[in-house]
Amino acid sequence: MLGRNLLHRLLPRHAARVSFAPPPPDGAHDGNGIRVLLRRAAVETRLARLNWTKSELAARAGISRGHLSDLLAGRKRPRPELRERLLDTFGAAFDDLFQIVPHTPVDNAHAGGTAAVGESHEGVAGGPHT
């Protein structure tokens, strides 16, 4: 196995993306078989009400504009720390911004997907109308 220093010398421009931590067991997202999705429509409604841009929200939440874009499109799911920062930023309740979706075996087959079979995700990031 390559040592950390050797790996960084071989791949210096990708070193920040290399993870030495083991992957989560069985593709678990929060360790309890659920996924938390950001409600895109709720975020956009709050942005309009506050007259904020997505860039301004990203800065206030301490994330990049690209990461926020990925969250809103359903390509990424917010980790617990980020969920808390978004709730604090908007002064919202959990159910106002997020939806809990059960983790299914189909999700493992479609690692990049966000919708479980037979579920409607209307108004949720990654849903049919996003």
Q: What is the pTM of this model?
A: 0.57
CATH number of 27-130: 1.10.260.40
Model pLDDT for residues 41-80, shown as the tens digit of each residue = 999 999 999 999 999 999 999 999 999 999 999 999 999 9
Phi, psi of 101 (to 5 degrees): -125, 130
Model pLDDT for residues 5-40, shown as the tens digit of each residue = 544 454 444 444 444 444 444 333 455 578 899 999
Instruction: Domain ranges for the chain, please list them.
Output: 27-130
Give, as one character, the DSSP assignment of residue 27.
Answer: G
